[in-house]
Structure 1
Amino acid sequence: MKFNPNGQLVWGSFYGSSGREQMSNLLPIDDETFYLAGLTDSPKDITTPNSHQPNYSYLPDNGDYGQLFLAKFGRNDDLSTSDISTSTLKIYPNPTKDKVYIKGFIHQDSLIEVYNLVGQKVITQKAKSGLTQTIDVQFLPKGTYIIKATDINGKAFQDKLLIN
């Protein structure tokens, strides 16, 4: 939830549905966006409609503990220019096993970071000049990660990255 200085609700979201939910990890991206990972037995609608990524990801079934999931929460009507345009950036291949490429305009000296679902930064790399950035991920264990690019003005882009 976010409130304005007068105490009025600006936006909010919820987590939980008809089944058993368990949050495992929380990864804040900025003041208004975060990823939530955990387990759920709910068949659908574990988050506020239209306030998370369109398909929160169900990962492999974990037996008695339900399905693993990764959901992105944040303000869905933010029209500010504080984000790097997602239409100009492409991350590929995704999933990957050794290298991932970010294609599109990223300012030189922008920071590229990869986080695991515990919120630990596992890769930090400065962008080089050129339209395609290469990130070596072959040493990372299989799993789901968050990749984030932040330019020198604080504009950011983030996406889910699967390593298999």
Structure 2
Amino acid sequence: MSVLIAIASAHNTTTSIGQRIATRLATHIPGPVVVRAIAEIPADGVSPYSAVIVGSAIHMASWLSPARKFITHQRTALSERPVWAFSVGVPGTEEYAAKETEKIEAEVRKSVPALRGHTLFRGRVEREQLPWPVALFFKWFPKGSQFGDFVDWEEVDKWADKVGEEMKKETEETR
């Protein structure tokens, strides 16, 4: 089994999470696990892989444009293989995180109806990453938002292990 982890990252947190997922998947499945920026994936770039994970940072409650375009343009290729997705953002409250996760998953499913799973990981946000007007109001929207690194690597590992076990099981069943 070969896996493509296609990433749309704004400040490298999503890339770091994608690389961590790749490392964990490699312990579960035979074959290569490749992490690539979506902008570097050619039009037929999904075809060599038997499974795909798409990850994107969230800005303004939506995936980054390259990720949205990728799943739209690769709709046919993605429908022919198992696909998982993850988002990286800094939701302020659990309620907001749940709503954001649901909204993004619904958007992804428009292009990838058979999506195997989606999760939202907390990311990192620093004041200097945001335009000054946004940074000024950031701590009030959504309620409880703060600057800092909120990546829960144990949560990332747990999700990657779950996906890796699903891939391993599928590989064994097709033998």
TM-score interval w.r.t. the shorter chain? under 0.3
Normalising by structure 1, we get a TM-score of 0.25
Greater relative CO (CA pairs within 8 A, separation 6+)? 2
Bigger strand share: 1
Normalising by structure 2, we get a TM-score of 0.24
Bigger helix share: 2
